[in-house]
């Protein structure tokens, strides 16, 4: 694969707390590779399945199929994420530029998605996530 990695809206937020866990080895290796390339090249914001989804066992027919409603829910998450980040599909951006915005929007994301997310215990292992959630003194 060459060119600028494509990332969908919610991945622009959730992946700041990636700590090496994922659905399977292929998924995790691809994710690490994409994050490395993203930090070097930047990224293009995409709609729908992105370069992370490409190696996901839940991607079927180009749609997120982890359960019967997941594609609609994920698309809604992507739209909400892009609204918070004030980014549009097709825009090119840098990882550090997104990272600077995360502290400002974190609580909106926490309230709306993290509390009901099946990955929340994994994110809780990440020091940056705990810092945003509980404050620096309770990391």
Nearest distance from residue 75's CB to ligand SF4, in Å? 9
| Smallest separation, CB 29 to ligand SF4 (Å) | 14
Nearest one of 13, 17, 37 to 86, comparing CA atoms: 13
Nearer to ligand SF4, 45 or 56 (CB): 56
CB 70 within 8 A of CB 23: no
Supply the minimum distance, in Å, between the C-beta of residue 46 and ligand SF4.
11
Which helix (DSSP H) or strand (DSSP E) does residue 43 occupy? Answer: strand 43-46
91-107 burial, b at 16+ Cβ within 10 Å, e below that, comes to: eebebeebeeebeebbe
Closer residue to ligand SF4, CB minimum distance, 13 or 53: 53
Q: By C-beta, is 79 or 131 nearer to ligand SF4?
A: 79
Q: Rank residues 55 and 95 by Cβ distance to ligand SF4 and give the closer one.
A: 55
Chain positions contacting ligand SF4, by CB under 6 A: 52-53, 56, 58-59, 64, 66, 74
Find how far residue 45's CA is from the centre of its chain: 11
């Amino acid at each position: 694969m060459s060119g600028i990695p494509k990332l969908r809206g919610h991945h622009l937020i959730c992946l700041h707390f990636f700590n090496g866990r994922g659905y399977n080895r292929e998924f995790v290796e691809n994710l690490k590779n994409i994050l490395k390339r993203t930090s070097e090249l930047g990224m293009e914001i995409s709609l729908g399945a992105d370069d992370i989804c490409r190696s996901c066992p839940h991607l079927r027919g180009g749609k997120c199929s982890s359960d019967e409603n997941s594609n609609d829910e994920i698309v809604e998450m992507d739209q909400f994420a892009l609204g918070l980040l004030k980014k549009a599909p097709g825009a090119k951006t840098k990882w550090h530029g997104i990272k600077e915005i995360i502290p400002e929007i974190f609580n909106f994301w926490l309230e709306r998605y993290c509390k009901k997310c099946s990955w929340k215990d994994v994110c809780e292992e990440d020091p940056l996530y705990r810092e945003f959630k509980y404050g620096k003194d309770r990391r």
